[in-house]
Copies of this chain bind each other. A is one copy, B any other.
Amino acid sequence: MARTLEIVGERWTLLVVRDLLFGVRRFNDLQRHLDIPKAVLAARLATLEAQGLVERDARRELTLTERGRDLWPAVHALMAWGERHCNDAGPRRLFVHARCGTTLDHLGACPACGREPGPEELETRSGPGAEPLRDDAVSVKLREPHRLLAPL
């Protein structure tokens, strides 16, 4: 776990991975959605590329490798903890098993199937506690249901 946190334990890195799981592909979208200094974001992405979690295509669009996508259970668990313990207004964001329409439980399992779907099988939707005020492109698009990993 110490080595894992050497890769993803820096402030912002898991938030970058979360946004890439949501389907964000462009540096500027990440930068505006996370409200992060450009130099810090560039450094975090360079580490994620060097460690083989992130790739860029010919148009410089960012995607997660399998190694990066495998962080989904950790990202979900951290989000679920925040929803339970840092949030009185109800969940901000729901994750739904697309095939059966069932909302995941806080352990990342689908109560209908008993399985833990991977991110490619999930849709995210705004929850009742969502903050309606932000107007960057990613926040606006994420107000509508969106399949994880699909370009945002």
Binding site for B on A (CB under 8 A): 1-5, 7-11, 14-15, 18, 67, 70-71, 73-82, 84-87, 106-109, 114, 116
CA–CA, A14 and B70, complex, Å:
19
A5 touches B11 (CB 8 A): yes
B14 touches A5 (CB 8 A): yes
Interchain nearest-CB distance for A85 vs B (Å): 5
**Chain A residues touching B, majority SS:** helix
B77 touches A73 (CB 8 A): yes
Interchain nearest-CB distance for A79 vs B (Å): 5
Q: Which of B2, B8, B14 contacts A1 (CB 8 A)?
A: B14
A4-B79, A70-B84, A74-B81 provided; 17 other pairs, C-beta below 8 A?
A: A1-B15, A1-B18, A1-B78, A4-B78, A4-B81, A4-B86, A5-B14, A8-B78, A9-B9, A9-B11, A10-B11, A70-B81, A73-B81, A73-B107, A74-B74, A74-B77, A109-B109
Which of A8, A18, A85: most chain B CB closer than 10 A?
A85
Residue of B nearest to A2 (CB): B15
Listed A/B pairs (7) with beta-carbon separation below 8 Å: A1-B15, A1-B78, A4-B82, A9-B11, A10-B11, A73-B73, A73-B80
CA–CA, A77 and B81, complex, Å:
13
